[in-house]
Amino acid sequence: MERGPEELDFLRSGVNLGLWAKHIVSGFMIGFHKGTRRGTGSEFSQYRSYQPGDDIRQIDWKMFARSDRYYIKESETESSVTVRFFLDTSASMKYEENGITRFRYASLITAALGTLVTQQGDAIALHLVNNQGQQSLKERRGKAHLSRFIQMIENGNCEGSWPESSEWLIDNLTSHNRELWVVCSDLLDGHDRWNKFVEMSEHIGHEVLFLQILGENELHLNLPDVATVQDPESDRQLNIRPQAVRTQYLQNLDAYLNELKIALMSPKSSLHLMEMNKPVSKALYHFLKKRERE
Amino acid sequence: MISTPLWLWLSAAVFIPVIIHFWNKKSGKPRLLGTFRFLPDDTFSAARKIKLHELPLLLIRVLMVLVITALLAGIFWETEKDSMDELWVYEVEKTGNPKAEEKGNSIEIPSLEINEKGWWNILAQLDHQFQPKNMIVEGNFSAKNFQGERPEISAQVEWVNSDSLTLNEKQLAIWKSGMETNYRFFQYKSKPGVFSEVEAVDEVVPENSLQQLKSIRLILNTNNSEEINTGLKYAADYWNITAEERQLEEIARIESGGQTWILKSQRFEDGPTDFADPNDISGISFHVTDMDTSVEFMDPILTGNLVNFPILYEEQKDVLVINGEIEQEIKSWVYAGVGSYLIQQSLEIMEFLSPEIISEQREVISASGENKEAKERKSAGFWLFMLLALLWVLERWLAPKRGM
């Protein structure tokens, strides 16, 4: 699980996102979500007798060798949901720390989770979201779809901000299946927008996971003595002395994060903070472990 | 004004805080900060405002460097020295406290100090110290107190003769001659100078007088040549002393109050170099008469090669020796002077009334204007140090607020 330094190197380099996402999830012995459908999957459930119509590829030939009977090996698959990823591509995702942009970090998380979901046999959908125009990938299963999923992430371009209204979302929802929404963003565009998002997902009946990705410098303002900082969305610049403004800044940030927590407080939504200085693999592992316990 | 301008090079160090300031300001490429909107708006919200906030700190640091430089360079200022209009200088007879005493715009100087240093040195010092416009000097202006060259003095000097100190007449000896009459030798000052006189004294000298009344007489050797005795008798007449002739080994002797003073003749075949060396007191000047004529015997060093040159010297305190052959024509005249000197010795007349230096000679040399504009130097060290402490406190107070 200790892939930190390698992973940081990867994030800085332009190595194929899909490969690394696969590499990350290969170590996980846990799934992204639990399902009740039995079928092919990673978690063994039971053997049942072969019945006409079953795919002969599912026959467990080792059992046939021992018992001379055809058995189908069934797993408790954790799927039957569509996992819809909303990857924030607003300008604030260009925020960079230790040579890694927030978008790159979020991309790896999205790609890794997408890979995990695909391995579980579930459908994934992707929306690259900003107010300059969304890109969407409809829900599908399979490796080919995962490739398109990853390709689309890699081509993502960060600009503008998160859209104020949620109309764009309604237009893109075509599936009537149960869905799990995963939002990868810094969630810094004002809690109202996220509140609306939660309300909409609740209305439709979907669960939403908010993965808030923030940098260490954003959380603690660990900048040099004097720094010129720029708002990625408005391009406004300021010269600041972090030491002088830190207290007030942290108070403001804490207040916002608390407001956000309250805004996202819902039985079907949860908020997970991920710090960019931690390796994605570690962050994901902890996130999935936590989710497993819930 | 600066006492050590070399340290001024240090003022170039003002660029250090300036460079640090601009280095700090040079924050490089703007950093994207997604949480930008959480930065407080009221403080440091604009780059322009930051400049205004940092300026005092920069100025304080530059000032600190300048103040340190000024401290090291020894900045001082000059103020016009308060000059006195008048300074009174009094000569006082003091034995206990030989130091000069300052009282307001007057100063008392003991006679002893004046005798040691002389008026010129004292006045030059007072002129430098007090920068008076006028100096009024009251005291005794005997010639002996005006040694050396006249100094340059910026003040106008006015001389006032102190009656209490100025002796116009001084009795130097008193004696009783063989005729039971008392005589005294005294000096008095007059316009041209100091005069000496021997005169009869009628009144009785008090017993506690410093000068003891002595009975004194001159005894001459009968074997002396006529010229010698004539000269010696002339001296005795001048001093009103009884002279008598007797068989003696020496030329003459004076019996005075139980003491005897002897005049001997001594011949050295090899000349005076046999007994005289540079350290001996061998040249004695004496006045043959009271004031008009004198014969001064030459220093034996100068006369070392003149074998037959006469010389008079004191063998002991009370023995006067005359060496050499004195020419016949002046023999009586020389012995009159020698006898007079011997009598003077026996009467223990050691010092004489000094003539007063005339006021024209007391005029000081007028100094150039430079002395008049003497300035007092006041160091700025204390104020600079206080300023530095204040700046340091300010700097320490401001720096954390500015995060610098």
- Nearest by Cα to A76 from A120, A130, A25: A120
CA of B32, closest CA in chain A: separation in Å? 5
B31, B38, B45 member nearest A227 (Cβ): B31
% of chain A beyond a pLDDT of 90: 8
Chain A residue with the nearest C-alpha to that of B29: A228
Cα torsion through B153, B154, B158, B162, rounded to 10: -50
**Chain A partners of B31 at a C-beta cutoff of 8 Å?**
96, 217, 223, 227-230
Determine contact, residues A58/A72, Cβ cutoff 8 Å.
Answer: yes
- Nearest by Cα to A280 from A23, A16, A15: A23
Largest Cα separation within chain A, whole Å, is: 78
A214, A242, A253 member nearest B403 (Cβ): A242
Determine contact, residues A195/A202, Cβ cutoff 8 Å.
Answer: no
How would residue A12 be classed by pLDDT, with cut points 50, 70 and 90? Answer: low
CA of A211, closest CA in chain B: separation in Å? 16
**Chain A partners of B20 at a C-beta cutoff of 8 Å?**
none
CA distance B155 to B89: 13
Hey, is the C-beta of B48 within 8 angstroms of any chain A C-beta? no
Which of B39, B53, B398 should be substituted to probe chain A, the one whose Cβ sees the most A Cβ atoms within 10 Å? B39
Task: List the structure tokens of B394.
Answer: 């300010």
Please report which residue ranges of chain A form alpha helices under DSSP H: 4-12, 17-25, 61-67, 102-119, 143-154, 167-172, 191-204, 216-220, 242-263, 280-293
How would residue A294 be classed by pLDDT, with cut points 50, 70 and 90? Answer: low
CA distance A189 to A161: 7
CA distance A266 to B3: 80
Q: Which residues contact B391 (CB under 8 A, 6 or more apart)?
A: B60, B63, B64, B67
Three-class SS of residue B371?
helix
Task: List the structure tokens of B76.
Answer: 């001082």
A188, A223, A236 member nearest B34 (Cβ): A188
CA of A291, closest CA in chain B: separation in Å? 27
pLDDT of residue B182: 84
Three-class SS of residue B30?
coil
Q: What is the pLDDT of residues B112-161, one digit of tens each?
A: 888 888 888 888 888 888 888 888 988 888 877 887 788 888 888 888 87
B32, B37, B50 member nearest A239 (Cβ): B50
pLDDT of residue A3: 45
Q: Which residues pair with B245 in a beta bridge?
A: B220
Residue by residue, DSSP assigns B191-260 as TTEEEEEEEEE-SPPPTT-SS--EEEEEEEETTS-HHHHHHHHHHHHHHT-EEEEE--SSSEEEEETTEE
pLDDT of residue B220: 93
Q: Greater confidence, A11 or B33?
A: B33
Reading chain B (404 residues) residue by residue, the pLDDT tens digits are 767 777 778 778 778 878 877 776 655 577 778 888 888 865 444 444 455 556 788 888 888 888 888 888 887 777 766 667 888 888 887 655 545 566 668 888 888 888 888 888 888 888 888 888 888 988 888 877 887 788 888 888 888 877 766 677 888 888 887 667 788 888 887 766 778 888 888 766 555 455 667 788 899 999 988 988 998 998 888 888 889 999 988 889 988 877 888 888 766 555 443 333 333 333 444 444 443 334 444 444 444 444 445 566 666 777 777 766 677 777 787 788 888 888 888 888 877 777 777 777 777 777 765 445 556 677 788 888 899 999 999 888 877 665 55
Q: Which residues contact A61 (CB under 8 A, 6 or more apart)?
A: none
Three-class SS of residue B45?
coil
Task: List the structure tokens of B303.
Answer: 């006369």
A229, A239, A256 member nearest B33 (Cβ): A229
CA distance A146 to A289: 23
**Chain A partners of B50 at a C-beta cutoff of 8 Å?**
239-241
Distance, CA of A106 to chain centre: 7
CA of A278, closest CA in chain B: separation in Å? 18
**Chain A partners of B37 at a C-beta cutoff of 8 Å?**
188, 231
CA-angle at B48, arms to B42 and B54, nearest 5°: 85
pLDDT of residue B303: 42
**Chain A partners of B45 at a C-beta cutoff of 8 Å?**
238
CA-based Rg of chain A, rounded to a whole angstrom?
A: 21
* Interface predicted TM-score of the whole assembly (ipTM), two decimals: 0.73
pLDDT of residue B247: 92
Residues in chain A: 294
The pairing of strands B311-316 and B252-256 is unpaired
How would residue A161 be classed by pLDDT, with cut points 50, 70 and 90? Answer: confident
Determine contact, residues B162/B140, Cβ cutoff 8 Å.
Answer: yes
CA-angle at B131, arms to B130 and B136, nearest 5°: 80
Hey, is the C-beta of B29 within 8 angstroms of any chain A C-beta? yes
How would residue A185 be classed by pLDDT, with cut points 50, 70 and 90? Answer: very high
CA-based Rg of chain B, rounded to a whole angstrom?
A: 41
Helical (H) or strand (E) element with B322: strand B319-323
Q: Which residues pair with A230 in a beta bridge?
A: A237, B32
Q: Which residues pair with A240 in a beta bridge?
A: A227
CA distance A153 to A89: 10
CA of A230, closest CA in chain B: separation in Å? 5
Tally of CA atoms within 13 A in the half-sphere of A114 that contains its CB: 37
A237, A244, A256 member nearest B43 (Cβ): A244
pLDDT of residue B269: 57
